[in-house]
Amino acid sequence: YRDYVLATADLSGTEAHRRSVEYWRQRLADLAPAPRLPMVRTPESVEHPRFVRRSVRLSAERWQRVTDRAAEAGLSPAGLLLAVYAEALAPWAQASRFTLNVTNLNRIGV
């Protein structure tokens, strides 16, 4: 873990890091906002939020077919699932263009 932390700290002063930061600064002005989704009530009126988790399990064979098709399209499995999520949200969003913000752990090879 120590080696990983030191390696990522070393990246902060590199040309690649500078280019990456500049790229995203320029993109900020053009990024669409988060999807505006319909609500049953205002968030302020919810006293006890309730969350429901939905899940689906795929067999190993079916998952392999999904990941193979994703690879054929140049997508990682995570990229494919994010696209599916965006497609599921799109009919409910009030705009056709929206940004999804997801956690990305920036794992580098050390």
Q: How far apart are CA 34 and CA 10, in angstroms?
A: 33
Q: How far apart are CA 23 and CA 15, in angstroms?
A: 12
- 9-36 tens-digit pLDDT: 778 888 988 998 899 999 998 999 999 9
Judge if 61 and 22 occupy the same domain: no
Establish if 38 belongs to a structural domain.
no
DSSP 8-state class, residue 35: -
**38-60 mean pLDDT:** 93
Q: How confident is the model at residue 41 (pLDDT cuts 50, 70, 90)?
A: very high
Output the pLDDT for position 17: 85
Domain that holds residue 26: 1-31
Q: How confident is the model at residue 46 (pLDDT cuts 50, 70, 90)?
A: very high
Helices (H), 29-95: 60-72, 77-89
- 60-105 tens-digit pLDDT: 999 999 999 999 999 999 999 999 999 999 999 999 999 998 877 6
Judge if 24 and 62 occupy the same domain: no
Q: How far apart are CA 64 and CA 72, in angstroms?
A: 12
Does the pTM surpass 0.75? The reply is no
| Cβ pair 33, 99 in contact under 8 A | yes
Judge if 63 and 100 occupy the same domain: yes
Give 3-state DSSP helix, strand, coil % of the chain, rounded to 5: 50, 0, 50
Output the pLDDT for position 109: 67
